[in-house]
Chain A
Amino acid sequence: MATRISNTTPATPEEETDAAGANGGIADFDYSNFYYSSSDDIFAIFDPYNEWWYGHARDNGYYLFSQPMSTPPGPRIDLEEQLGHERLKLLNLASYNYLGLSYHPEVIDAAKKALDHYGLGAAGSPILSGTMEIHVQLEKALAKFKKKDAVMVFPTGYSTNVGLIAALMRPGDWVIMDQNVHASIVDGAILSKANVRFFRHNRPDDLEKKLRGTTGKRLVIVEGVYSMDGDEARLPEIVEVAKRHGARIMIDEAHSTFLYGANGRGVAEKYGLEEDIDIHVGTFSKALGGMGGFVAGSQALYNYLMGFARSRVFSCALSPAVSAGVLQALRIAEREPQLRDTLWSNVAYMRGLLAEAGIDVGESTSQIIPIMIRNDRKIFGVAQALQKAGLYLQPIIYPAVAKHRSRFRISISATHTTQQLDEAATILADVMTAEGLR
């Protein structure tokens, strides 16, 4: 017999009989309801989960996730809507492609040449046969760019943080991180079996509190720009607190490398704190439009990670074609700082439009601009209306963000035109008006 997921039940046995097959309250469920269960059978949770998924979630908005795109992730895309399987042409403000480099002709050409030269994959772990000349070139170019002794490339951003943290921290050590850091940082800390503490988002005073009473090895972890709210780390204050307590500092600049600072080296460069931070992490999937991640730091750190970053040791090396494309994207980002200027000009332009329209963008100061809906029940309806009106934005809901903090996340790109941003802002304003949200 299947487990029923009905959230509501009547108060008396008589009423329960009447409602035995009903699914009242099903809309109250979300992913968090299906994570924990105690049962003798691993598969016991499948029935209620699938009942929720097929009986409510998919058709009421969750179908908007993972819709397959059939074009590059540029300002205009085609995708297949997943309910009626209709092919849609949409204005795209959902992709991370901040500098528009994923489909830059030089990047594609470099990747094609590497594909011809090396073939599809690296065919081995980077510590065995998987390291190719292109990987070495990429690491050296990144080290020069980041002004660090050495850079180590990982196959994904996720594996970068997991491998790095688990390589360095041990049971009894302390990992103290902002509560809004990426899941890969949390998972790395869990894997390390170190003690973990979270400090309240961007609150140096709470970091101070969480550092108290800790002894031995301490690693404080923050991000440069936070991916859900688009706000910057309060880096000077956080670094001051961490250093005063003798803790090492790691920053993940997934959403800020190649964008922030006079030379694009990130938020740490912006605040002149590059030397004060011990470990710098970045990814290739955001501003460079590729995939993979990297750790920048000392040669000693590189040497240690070579032996102990298990997510890298036991993975195939990054595809040489992707590596070559990323290397070319890095060269373009360095050669053409005007791309960053265009991006920031677009960000300012869009912020102006949204402010004029009275649209709530939360605490964002970056190219990630949340459109705060703050209504968990309405957001999917708004998302469907936006898609019908021709705008592609991803809804972000609980548990990815706190209850009633549901939002759409705009990612501005240097390749958006002001006309496209005008169009997006108009659609947003019209839909939010129609939905009674402004």
Chain B
Amino acid sequence: MSGSNGSNGAKKPSSEFVQYHFRHAIGGFFEFPTANARKILPPHLHPVEPHHGQSVLSVMAFDFHKSMVGEYGELILSVLVMPRVAPGEPLPRSAFYPFLLGTTTKDSRDHAIERWHLPHFMENIDLSFDAKDDGIRIAAAHGGKPIIDMNITPYSWEKVSHRYQSFMHDADGSYMSTIIMESGFSENEEERGDITIHPHAFTKDIDRDNVNTTPFRELWMRDGLQTFHPLDTLASAAV
């Protein structure tokens, strides 16, 4: 069955930190129309606009080699949104609303839906990483049909620990988790990368003709650790 399903019944959020080790995590930030972003976002979240009328489509791919659900690949489509700023809480580097994830294994998919209320494409996808010195290429496909091809280029490398916020929203409610990314990190705005978004059920919510196919920002993280903080249920969110 294809399609997204972020709900798995109301469950009490876990208080544990959950860690995922990855070989590569790569991302591209692409400008796309805010009208498209607003159709994707729940009403309580607002897109970040690098240019007026242009929001940010984030395409990320992870190559996990160690986690509580084993080894798997993950493709994430997100919209960058305004972070939550609250007294006593550290300010994040940025905030995301993941609106569709695809994974290479059922276990990882079931885990992310149950634990993090993340909406998923409900069949396994194929995800390949081809890393070279001058760039990394990912190819995502499903049933022999391409979903997304993306090339990302490196710049200088440094060790970082970055804080992000991820917002989730499903039939059970609205949530937020802090995510810490610790890894070798390279980021640039050299506009050397590119993306091809193919027509596919996975990409149906994206106005493909109006996505800038050159990322204005390219990110590449190597040999890192992703840590999810316990899920916060956002009391103010409409359900």
* Interfacial residues, chain A to chain B (CB-CB below 8 A): 1-13, 24-25, 28-29, 33, 36-40, 44-45, 47-48, 179, 186, 189-190, 195-198, 200, 398, 402-405
Contact = CB atoms under 8 A, between A and B. Distances in A.
A190 B93 CA distance: 27
A330 B93 CA distance: 48
A9 B217 contact: no
B163 to A, nearest CB: 5
Given A8-B163, A37-B82, A403 B189 contact: yes
B19 A11 contact: yes
Contacts of A11: 17, 19, 180, 182, 225, 227
Contact of B162 (A4, A28, A186, A398): A28
B7 interface: no
A4 B212 CA distance: 35
Contacts of B93: 7, 28, 33
A44 B87 CA distance: 7
B88 A48 contact: no
Contacts of B92: 7
A197 B225 CA distance: 38
Interface stretch (B47-55, B116-124, B134-142): B47-55
B188 A404 contact: yes
Contacts of B88: 1-4
Nearest to B80: A36
6 contacts: A8-B163, A11-B225, A36-B83, A37-B83, A38-B84, A39-B84
Contact of A3 (B53, B86, B189): B86
Contacts of A7: 90-93, 161-163
B52 A3 contact: no
Contact of A403 (B89, B160, B217, B225): B217
Contacts of A40: 236
- Which 4 pairs, one residue from A and one from B, show the smallest C-beta to C-beta distance? A402-B189, A37-B85, A8-B161, A1-B88
A407 B215 CA distance: 22
Contact of B53 (A9, A12, A195): A195
B79 to A, nearest CB: 13
Interface in B73-103: 81-93
B90 A189 contact: no
B88 to A, nearest CB: 4
A354 to B, nearest CB: 22
A186 B51 contact: yes
Contacts of B86: 3, 39, 44
Contacts of B216: 402
A257 B217 CA distance: 34
A39 B91 contact: no
A196 B33 CA distance: 10
A197 B31 CA distance: 11
Count chain B CB atoms within 10 A of each CB in A1, A29, A37 and give the residue with the most.
A37
A196 B90 contact: no
Given A37-B82, A38-B45, A48-B85, 14 more contacts: A8-B160, A10-B161, A11-B180, A13-B17, A25-B160, A28-B160, A36-B46, A38-B81, A38-B82, A40-B236, A48-B91, A195-B53, A403-B188, A405-B189
A311 to B, nearest CB: 18
Contacts of A33: 91, 93
A9 B48 CA distance: 23
B178 interface: yes
B229 to A, nearest CB: 8
B90 A6 contact: yes
B85 A3 contact: yes
A327 B112 CA distance: 68
A12 B19 CA distance: 10
B89 A4 contact: yes
Contacts of B188: 403-404
Contacts of B81: 38
Nearest to B162: A7
Contact of A197 (B45, B53, B180): B53
B225 to A, nearest CB: 7
Contacts of B162: 7-8, 25, 28
Contact of A38 (B52, B83, B89, B187): B83
Interface in B167-181: 178, 180
B184 to A, nearest CB: 15
Contacts of A38: 45-46, 81-85
A119 B212 CA distance: 53
A185 to B, nearest CB: 10
B214 interface: yes
Contacts of A404: 155, 188-190
B83 A189 contact: no
